[in-house]
Amino acid sequence: MGSRGQKRTETADELPADKRACSSLEFRPSSSNCSSIRTHLNSPNSTPDADMETSSSTSASSRSDGEHEKEDESAYGSCDSDDAEQQPRHHILRDYQRRRSSSDHGKLNTILSNLNEGNGGSGQLAALTELCEVLSFCNEDSLSSLMADSLSPVLVKLAKNESNANIMLLAIRGMTYLCDVYPRSSGFLVRHDAVPALCERLLAIEYVDVAEQCLQALEKISRDQPVACLQAGAIMAALNFIDFFSISVQRVALATVVNICKKLPLEGPAPFVEVVPKLCDLLQHEDQQLVESVATCLIKISERMCQSSELMEELCKHELINQVTLVMKSNSRTTISQPIYNGLIGLLVKLSSGSFVAFRSLYELNISNILKDVLSTYDLSHGISPPDLVDGNCNQVHEVLKLLNELLPASTGDQANQVVLDKESFLADHHDLLQRFGMDLFPVLVQVVNSGANIYVCYGCLSVISKLVVLSKPDMLGELLKTANIPSFLAGVFTRKDHHLLMLALQIAEIILKKLSDVFLSSFIKEGVFYVIDALLMPEKCSQLMLPVFGGIQPSFDSSQKSSAREFQRCLCYAFDMVPSSSVSSCKIDKDTVCNLAKHIKTNYFAPELVESDKGMTDVLQNLRTLSAALSSLINMPVDDGTTVQHEEKFYSILHQIMLKLNGREPVSTFEFIESGIVKSLMHYLSDGMHMRGNVEFTGSYDHLVVLGKRFEVFTKLFFSYSDILVEDLPLSILIQKLQSGLSTLENFPVIPSHGFKQRNSFATVPNGRCVMYPCFRVRFVRAEGENCLSDCAEDVLAVDPFSPLDAIEGYLWPKVFTERTEYGELDAEELEQREVLPNLLPSNANSTQAKSSGFIDSMSIDLPEMQEDEANFSQIASEQVHFRELNSGETMSLDETNMGSAGKEQEFPTESTKNMRTPCSASGDNDIKDSSARLLLYLEGHQLDRTLMLYQVILQQLLNSEKEFMTWAKLWSRVYTITYKRALESNQDDPQEHTYQERKFSVSDQKIASIQNMGYFASMFACKLTSDLDKSSPIYDILFLLKLLEGINKYSFHLMSCERVRAFAEGRNDNLDNLKVMVRSVSQNEFVSSRLTGKLEQQMQDAFTLSTGGMPLWCNDLVSSCPFMFSFEARCKYFRLAAFGPRRGQLNAISRSNSGTSSDRQTTSGGLPRKKFLVSRDQILDSATRMMDLLARHKGLLEVEYNEEVGTGLGPTLEFYTLVSHEFQKFGLGMWRGDHCSFITSTTLPTESVILRNSSGLFPRPCSPKSDANNGIQFSQVLKKFVLLGQIVAKAIQDGRVLDVSFSKAFYKLILGQDLSLYDIQSFDPELGRTLMEFQAIIVNQKRLQESICVENAALKQDLCFRNTRIEDLYLDFTLPGYPDYVLSSECNLKMVNSANLEEYVELVVDATIHSGIARQVEAFKSGFNQLLEIIQEFEYSQRRAFLQFVTGAPRLPPGGLASLIPKLTIVRKHSSNCADTELPSVMTCANYLKLPPYSSKEKMKEKLLYAISEGQGSFHLS
């Protein structure tokens, strides 16, 4: 019965009228006998099995909410008890089915005898009616082959009874039901000539309902007997009168044709050609499903006929080309599925390959315009797959490129057939068509290659470009090449590693120089094409070029080596050829082909004197090199107070000359810009040489802060002091454009698809022995030579989880290879570990973690990047804080990191490999062994492995660093890797030379400016690791680092310009405080976005498998962390959602944001994450929000809001709720924000009608004295609670993808992210106060300069201490915070009134109260609310976290991907308990990862009981 129910489900959507009485009889001219038929056949089509399946799925979905304890208890019971209950149930079902089958068999025998007796029309009609009823309810077990064979001739005979339409209808319906219940019966029906009988009825079409039933019967038979249907003419019979039927019946008819076309015989006659005109007409049908079926038929027919040119020509005579191109027009890709669209392109490929008529028609129909639209709007995700099939569907861009290659014929001498010759002759006679073709596609093809497409797409595009260049005449080629900078394009291609691409680039260059040498020779030299060709021939010159040219030419596949046919099939030489794979023998590029062509170009087109480096350089390159050398010389120039001004003037002069060259009349090519060394010199100078060092710490001295500050100020003055030019013409904007162009030319970061291997179940022995859904690496662990402290690994070759971190592998390996002699005898690592770990599991150790975890909230935000200046949406800020650490750390992540997506410090919680361990060899007995303390060093092919990476990343990076860009996935997974290990020695202290710099003497005033400049941000730039797989000597590293510096300077341009004005005032170059006002026109953040890198990141993020396993390439995680500005806002948001919430919620959030306000959001979320409804009151919106967060803050599903006494729920009310809450937090009287000068009052006394607080600069917390707790602590505690609630609301809005109508200031965002603020940040939210403090600061710095002077007069000192011609004392300022008279800055008796002596202290206290101590508690309250998910687990030690996972899930580790990949999902519900819940323990159901917590009175009590249950509940199942 279960199989029957399943079968009904599969066919219900396809044939809606299949299992009910046909209601179309009423359309017959005569229907006197129809009523009796409808009466007998109108029984319902529901079965107990179907009901049972529905109720089962419903109950499964209803359990997710966890609202009722009884349901939860029953749903998540013991696995053993469930199996015990299922056994008698299965016995009952089997007995029922056996009895039912016996009964059905008896009924069928009776019906068969009645049909054979021939008791007149009424008897046969009744027998057929009963037969249909029995067949509609029986299953395959009720029928036998003998019964089916006996029924078939009877039903076929009755189907030919033209005297009685009702008998015909029921007989044909009986055939349909018979095939449905017993599919093998289709063979019996065919043997008894059922198909010709059905075709005869269709061609006669006397009755519509009979014809409809015939179509349904044919569809069933055609599934198993397509050839018999073809031979009987079923295709033409099904399509002959298709226009007379309804849409649903037309779909059935086309389904029959599709079944037949999928199994067309390869040999013999082709009777299906006659239906092509009818199919072509149906291509323009309005029904999408019908059009897709027609397209499938045509695709299959073309595949059958592609071997014969005559048959292809026959197809083209029926307007097939015209109809297909109409379907492919513009918006068709949004109405038909992508596989069908790809199939239509493949159909055109086959037609144009074998038919000259098709070739000519495509040119005349301007197919290039259609293909241009496909390429120009294609998603980069279309280019990630190799040319073989993925899920049975060809890659769309690959098909387009195959079509383009077929439309540009290339004769190969004697092998050219007549069709190719006709094509070449046609293009030679129709230059206008070829030119239109080239003008449409040439710039798009160049754009696709430059966009970062994979090697297959690049090869296809270059192949098309090469053919266009060959077929074009010189004048036409000149016009064509004007649409793109072809020399720069070719220079970028020459940086690729693959020799197929190099060969095509050389061919293109050779043809261009041959046809247009006088036009392009100079540009080839200017763009560096000549230099890279010379470097290809002489690899020793590669080291002299800054452009990373691939040298040392060797073929990708050496023809002398034996390789499998599968590898040769994937060779790029045959990627776009219409050649069967069996005929592919070897790579077409032999060892000397590339060298010979490069030598030919150099000899014939470049003059010998160009080989001389000085003569070959352009004037622009020589001038830029001179300026670069001058800039480099400034680095070694000693700097002190006497030479500072001169030094800055030289720097300014050189920078000015460089910018004049970059923006001069003669354009600077990317090659000249990179090769000149300007990038390296600028970066070296601005970073003071620190970019090449490791982690830089500025300890004990402001010297380097002063150097950096002054250089950044000069740089900012030059780049931002223009007020009369457009922003896009600013020098900084021009420099950024050059850097972006260089990055697009040089970068070659890989995009790694997961479908390079097939997902299959396998068992990973290392590190924790579990089944995985992907292949494992085969690894042999070998002890390093000379290693005497460790033993050999007993196992030979082990299966290693590729997505496990190396420290987890070390944790597996350490106990097996390490033994130690102690006072207890010889103990292995596991015994030593147990002696130390077991005491940590006891509850008595809980208090020891308090001090360690107290700074957890602070640690959440330490390494977060800077926020962008022009975007104030918090989702953007959150998108920059995630480093994807949780996906790359496997089981070593913390629970809070998995749920919140926060990148906490790795050393906060040790990993498996760094558990607490004391041995006689240990340096100390401390329990705080950090992640960095490795016990083993692992090596692969002589290279030490980074423990922070996964084995998959390490091996993949090693493969990518090889000399081949073409990756062979089969070898990646089949080979055995040898990893050597040895004991890790204690790390030595850093080399003292690493952090020693040239001593410089600076004045106290300079150091004061550096201290208020907040230069810590700039110092962090140099300590930040850009990407671990990039060499620091690479020009790509230089470009990225310089872009990072420029983005920081642009972001802090106001700070830098303000410091420059203060310095000018202090040095006497400016004596007017009004000149301190700064107006900076910063460059838009969009200027720093790399479209190429953004496209690659989007491409990589569409691979769900690499996201869930953490197999992202290294550059993705590193660059998003270190250079988030390189990626678009949308890409960062998507990255954040995927990293923080997993692929499932991330995709749902993206859909809900794009479909905001539509009904599709409901459909999407209902089928994905669970939803939780909450009833709120409009009159008490904050109270409702508080209750909601208390109950549902940790609920991982989507929250939906329903208003009290209102009708309606879903997306609309939920979005309104977040808007109302946002407005409520911005009302006057809450005491939360600056500008709200009301005293602190409780929520019970708030006015009912409050005005919303508006601030054009955004909201910033209202300062409150730290001492106010002693006076009015209860009222201030209400403010802190509101900040906690606000943090929860913001976190939940980000998690659910909702929008908040609240505008925080940029300074508040910085505080949330853990960044320090300075005096200059005050102007961003309080311009008047900030400007006044800056003027005071200028007076203070000026005073210090005068005090340092050798000769100083008292009168001059007093004059400089005046503020706008008013003595400081006469301002009558007291030591209270401006605007907040109750905030006393200092209680010291000598700090009552502000004077010249204490002005500096007054400014420091005001700044501290405004941006530090006065708002610290509010910010921490917000962050605590934001980070409140799984708060208890955050406070656990590492060993306690492992014990918690063991307690709840049965395993101490999480799967790759963390909690997001845990199946079933972790569920936490309230446990019903007695009146005294504090005495009860939590319980779990490990089968369902289900934790039940009693309603404890406090967080401390919950933690105590959890720890007790974890420690005492191990090894038993009593707490269930």
CA distance 970 to 989: 44
Mean pLDDT of the 1116-1131 span? 90
Distances (CA, A) of 1134 to 693, 880, 1102, 1129, 1180: 33, 11, 10, 9, 34
Can you tell me the mean pLDDT for 51-68? Answer: 36
Mean per-residue pLDDT, 1102-1126: 82
Model pTM above 0.75: no
Asked if residues 1377 and 1333 have their Cβ atoms less than 8 Å apart, the reply is no
Output the pLDDT for position 878.
35
pLDDT tens, position by position, 228-254: 999 999 999 999 999 989 999 999 999
d(CA 894, CA 774) in angstroms, rounded, equals 24
Looking at residue 1159, its pLDDT comes to: 37
> Looking at residue 576, what is its pLDDT?
81
Torsion sign, CA atoms 50, 53, 57, 59: positive
The top-scoring range by mean pLDDT among 75-79, 640-644, 739-743 is 739-743
What share of the chain has pLDDT > 70, as a percent?
68
Query: How high does pLDDT run on average in the chain?
Result: 74
Contact 776, 800 (CB under 8 A): yes
| Dist. CA 440–CA 108, nearest whole Å | 68
Residue 974 contacts residue 1319 (beta carbons within 8 Å): no
What local confidence, expressed as pLDDT, does residue 1370 receive? 87
Instruction: Give the tens place of pLDDT for each residue, 1453-1494.
Output: 676 556 656 777 788 887 877 677 788 888 888 777 888 888
Using alpha carbons, list the distances in angstroms from residue 1499 to 1430, 1431, 1502: 11, 9, 5
Question: How high is the pLDDT of residue 844?
Answer: 37
Average pLDDT, stretch 926-932? 38
Residue appearing with tokens 């500008």: 1235
Torsion of CA 1026, 1029, 1031, 1032, to 10 degrees: 10
What confidence score (pLDDT) does residue 1040 get? 92
Helix (H, G, I), strand (E, B) or coil at 1372: coil
What pLDDT was estimated at residue 1511? 78
Compare 299 and 1484 and report the one with higher pLDDT: 299
Digit-coded pLDDT (tens) for 1238-1291: 544 444 444 444 578 878 889 999 999 887 763 444 578 889 999 999 999 998
Please answer whether residues 1454 and 891 qualify as being in contact, where contact means their C-beta atoms are separated by less than 8 angstroms: yes
Give me the phi and psi of 939, to 5 degrees please: -130, 140
Following CA atoms 314, 315, 321, 327 in sequence, which dihedral angle do they give, to the nearest 10 degrees? 160
Highest mean pLDDT among 112-116, 391-395, 720-724: 112-116
The two tokens of residue 731 are 């020098």
pLDDT value at 361 more than 50: yes
For residue 1191, the model assigns a pLDDT of 82
Q: Which of 121-130, 537-546, 1065-1074, 1379-1388 has the lowest mean pLDDT?
A: 537-546
- Report how far residue 212's alpha carbon sits from residue 216's, in angstroms, rounded to the nearest whole number: 6
Q: Which tops the pLDDT comparison, 857 or 1336? A: 1336
Mean pLDDT of all residues in 1357-1362? 57
Active-site annotation holder among 542, 793, 1024, 1487: 1487
In which residue are the tokens 């289709």 written? 186
Q: For strand 1209-1210 and strand 1171-1176, is the pairing parallel, antiparallel, or unpaired? A: unpaired
pLDDT at 1432: 57
Paired with 1173 in beta bridges are 1200
**85-94, 734-743, 943-952, 1201-1210, range with greatest mean pLDDT:** 734-743
Q: What are the phi and psi torsion angles at 1281 (to 5°)?
A: -65, -35
Q: Is the pLDDT of residue 1157 over 50?
A: no
**Using 50, 70 and 90 to split pLDDT, how confident is the model at 469?**
very high
Closest CA to 445 of 384, 506, 489: 489
Question: Which helix or strand (DSSP H or E) is residue 940 part of?
Answer: strand 936-940
CA-to-CA distance for 372 and 363, rounded, in angstroms? 13
Pairwise CA distance, residues 176 & 221, whole Å: 8
Backbone angles phi, psi at 1259, to 5 degrees: -80, 140
The answer to whether residues 658 and 624 touch, using CB atoms and an 8 Å cutoff, is yes
Assess contact for 1333 and 1407: CB atoms under 8 A. Answer: yes
3-state secondary structure 268-298: CCCHHHHHHHHHHHHCCCCCHHHHHHHHHHH
What confidence category does residue 546 fall into, taking pLDDT thresholds of 50, 70 and 90? Answer: low
* H/E run at residue 13: none
- Please provide the size of the chain in residues: 1520
pLDDT at 496: 84
Judged against a pLDDT cut of 50, whether residue 1161 lies above it is answered with no
472 or 663, higher pLDDT: 472
- What dihedral do alpha carbons 522, 526, 528, 530 form, nearest 10°? 20
Quote the pLDDT of residue 711.
80
Q: What is the rounded CA–CA span in Å between residue 1057 and residue 429?
A: 65
| Distance separating alpha carbons of residues 901 and 885, to the nearest angstrom | 8
The closest of 1231, 1295, 1294, 1238 to 1259, measured between CA atoms, is: 1231
In the predicted model, is pLDDT for residue 897 greater than 60? no
- pLDDT on residue 1422: 93
What's the rounded Cα separation, in Å, for the pair 1210 and 1205?
Answer: 15
pLDDT band at 923 (very low <50, low <70, confident <90, very high): very low
pLDDT tens string 94-146: 676 677 777 777 888 888 888 887 666 788 899 999 999 988 888 887 888 88
CA distance 1336 to 1398: 12
Residue-wise pLDDT for 1492-1512, tens only, equals: 888 887 777 888 888 888 877
Per-residue pLDDT of 154-184, as tens digits, reads 999 999 988 899 999 999 999 999 999 999 9
Cβ–Cβ < 8 Å for 1289, 1193: no
Kind of pairing, strands 1380-1384 and 1376-1377?
Answer: antiparallel
Q: At what angle do helices 486-493 and 529-537 cross, to 10 degrees?
A: 30
Query: What are the phi and psi torsion angles at 1210 (to 5°)?
Result: 115, -150
Q: In terms of Cα–Cα distance, which of 346, 337, 239 is closest to 292? A: 337
Beta strands of 1177-1233 (E only): which ranges?
Answer: 1198-1203, 1209-1210
Please state, for a pLDDT cut of 90, what percent of the chain lies above it: 26
Can you tell me the mean pLDDT for 771-799? 87
Mean pLDDT, residues 1157-1173: 52
Q: Rounded to whole angstroms, how far apart are CA atoms 1262 and 1274? A: 17
pLDDT at 316: 87
What b/e sequence results for 446-483 when a residue is b if at least 16 CB atoms lie within 10 Å of its CB, and e otherwise?
bebbbbbbbbbbbbbbbbbbbbbbebbeeebbeebbee
Question: What confidence tens digit (pLDDT) does each residue in 175-231 have?
Answer: 999 999 999 999 999 999 999 999 999 998 889 999 999 999 999 999 999 999 999
User: Is position 1487 annotated as part of the catalytic site?
Assistant: yes
